[in-house]
Amino acid sequence: MRYLLILFLMLISCSKSLQDQESLIINLEKVIPEELSITSFIKSDLESFYEVELSDGTFFYYSNDGEHLFLGDLFRIEKDNLLNLSYAREKEKVLSVLNDLDKNSVIKFPSQDKKYEVFIFTDVDCGYCRKFHSQIQSYLDLGIEVNYLSFPREGLNSETAKKLVTAWCSDEKQVAITELKNGKELPFQNCDSNPIEEHYNLARRIGITGTPTIITKAGISIPGLMEANELMEYLK
């Protein structure tokens, strides 16, 4: 959806110059899909452009005349260095998600020799999530503590979401998520405190669409499976 949307937005043209922010917002709202909304529209460090973010995490720069759209990394030249402003912005978003996360809502696999900890958006039916979990001890042995967050890729009303609810509502969460990742069928359990929707919305805030996605405490998002030794080198 995101990439189709970007291509569609690139076709926008205006018959007259748009001067005020309200008109620009109205113009965008006419062309974005109904299921999406504009969540942020602020002046950018890039002169004559606004920073725009949509509810699915799509981010772009939009000119204040309504005729140009810029998608990509924005760099600022600082003496002999380039500062990636887009990267810094994404990192800030990830850190805000970690800050808003209820740390008691994760399923934790602690390491006896903890050096680092990561937060992983996971799905019990995802092949790479299952592979990660099958070798989770290799991460723990290296001192990487694993904190699982739920992200049902097919949505909150999917069968996978129900399995995730069962895992998080179990009295033995580690056992339940392990059995589900091993393909075992468990009786459905629900509870008022299940955080599945909360985790799902946090993931959507930073544009996560697949699992596993590893989040570091430094605010780095790593999509896909990363082997234990490789992740350790990344965290150092």
More confident residue, 7 or 102: 102
**Is the whole model's pTM more than 0.85, yes or no?**
no
Where do the H-state alpha helices sit in the chain? 2-9, 21-29, 85-100, 127-134, 136-141, 159-169, 173-181, 196-205, 228-235
Q: Please give the tally of structural domains in the chain.
A: 2
96 is a domain residue: no
**Residue pair 99/113 in contact by the 8 Å Cβ criterion:** no
Q: Tell me if 126 sits within 8 A of 154, measured CB to CB.
A: no
94 inside domain:
no
Q: Is the pLDDT of residue 9 over 70?
A: no
Question: Of 216, 15, 6, nearest to 120 (Cα)?
Answer: 216
Q: For 172-225, what is each residue's pLDDT tens digit?
A: 999 999 999 999 999 999 999 899 999 999 998 888 889 999 999 999 889 899
Residue 92: inside a domain: no
Co-location of 118 and 204 in the same domain: yes
Could you give phi then psi for residue 36, rounded to 5 degrees?
-110, 155
Same domain (yes/no): 113, 59: no
Tens digit of pLDDT for each residue in 34-77?
Answer: 888 888 888 887 778 888 888 777 788 888 887 777 777 677 77
Separation CA 11–CA 30 (nearest Å): 13
Whether 124 maps to a domain, the answer reads yes
Confidence of residue 19 (pLDDT cuts 50, 70, 90): low
Which residues sit opposite 146 in a β-bridge?
109, 118
Q: What is the pLDDT of residues 105-142, one digit of tens each?
A: 999 999 999 999 999 999 999 999 999 999 999 999 99
Q: Which domain holds residue 24?
A: 2-76
At 184-195, the pLDDT tens digits run: 999 999 999 899
CB 214 within 8 A of CB 221: yes
Quick one: 112 and 220 in the same domain?
yes
Residue 11: which pLDDT band, with cuts at 50, 70 and 90? Answer: very low
pLDDT of residue 89: 74
Q: What confidence score (pLDDT) does residue 84 get? A: 64
Local structure of 44: helix, strand or coil:
coil
pLDDT of residue 80: 73
Contact status, residue 65 vs residue 50, Cβ threshold 8 Å: no
User: In Å, how far are 37, 167, 168, 181 from 185, measured between CA atoms?
Assistant: 38, 11, 15, 10
* pLDDT at site 48: 84
Same domain? For 155 and 221 the reply is yes
